[in-house]
């Protein structure tokens, strides 16, 4: 789980968190998640692997405000070898859901060509497959 404290600059004139910040928090949580499962971004980039966002969606459940503590749980919703779909559940200190979100990613090499993880990075492929099947959880 990743924890984010809402900063003043992330709020709008009404005093609530601007909706665009939730996508930034998703990226923070995703990077933390990859680190927790043993595949941090630096390691992936050293291997020549990049994972651009293909799509993002958010459903805002209740507002957050300055200094709120937001816990973000990341899970692998689906992994089919080429695309990775992640779910994000963001809750406040009271355990109330603030935002439900999803992101989809593909895997490319440094030249922007699709990568078949099963063949080229079997250990990473196995980790994601186990997470998608619920056989493994975040460390």
The predicted structure's pLDDT at residue 3: 98
| CA–CA gap between residue 87 and residue 58 (Å, rounded) | 10
| CA–CA gap between residue 25 and residue 15 (Å, rounded) | 18
Tens-place pLDDT, residues 2-33: 999 999 999 999 999 999 999 999 999 999 99
State yes or no: is 12 an active-site residue.
yes
Q: Is residue 75 part of a domain?
A: yes
Domain total of the chain: 1
Q: Is residue 41 part of a domain?
A: yes
CATH number at 104 reads 3.10.129.10
Q: How far apart are the first and last CA of the chain?
A: 9
The predicted structure's pLDDT at residue 138: 60
Q: Is residue 65 part of a domain?
A: yes
Can you list the pairs that 8-11 forms with residues at least 24 positions away whose Cβ atoms lie under 8 Å? 8/66, 10/66, 11/65, 11/66
Q: Is residue 139 part of a domain?
A: no
| CA–CA gap between residue 102 and residue 90 (Å, rounded) | 11
pTM: 0.92
Tens-place pLDDT, residues 48-99: 999 999 999 999 999 999 999 999 999 999 998 889 999 999 999 999 999 9
Of 12, 35, 71, 109, which one is the catalytic site residue? Answer: 12
Q: Which domain holds residue 98?
A: 2-132
Let me know: does 102 contact 54? Beta carbons within 8 Å. Answer: no
Q: Is residue 138 part of a domain?
A: no
Q: Where are the beta strands (DSSP E) in 12-82?
A: 53-60, 69-79
């Amino acid at each position: 789980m990743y924890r984010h404290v809402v900063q003043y600059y992330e709020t709008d004139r009404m005093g609530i968190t601007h909706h665009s910040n939730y996508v930034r928090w998703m990226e923070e949580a995703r990077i933390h998640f990859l680190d927790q499962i043993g595949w941090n971004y630096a390691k992936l980039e050293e291997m020549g692997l990049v994972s651009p966002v293909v799509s993002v969606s958010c459903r805002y459940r209740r507002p957050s405000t300055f200094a709120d503590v937001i816990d973000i749980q990341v899970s692998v919703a689906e992994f089919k070898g080429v695309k990775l779909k992640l779910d994000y559940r963001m809750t406040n200190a009271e355990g109330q859901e603030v935002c439900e979100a999803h992101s989809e990613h593909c895997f490319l090499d440094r030249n922007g060509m699709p990568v078949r993880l099963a063949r080229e990075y079997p250990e990473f492929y196995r980790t994601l497959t186990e997470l998608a099947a619920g056989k493994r959880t975040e460390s």
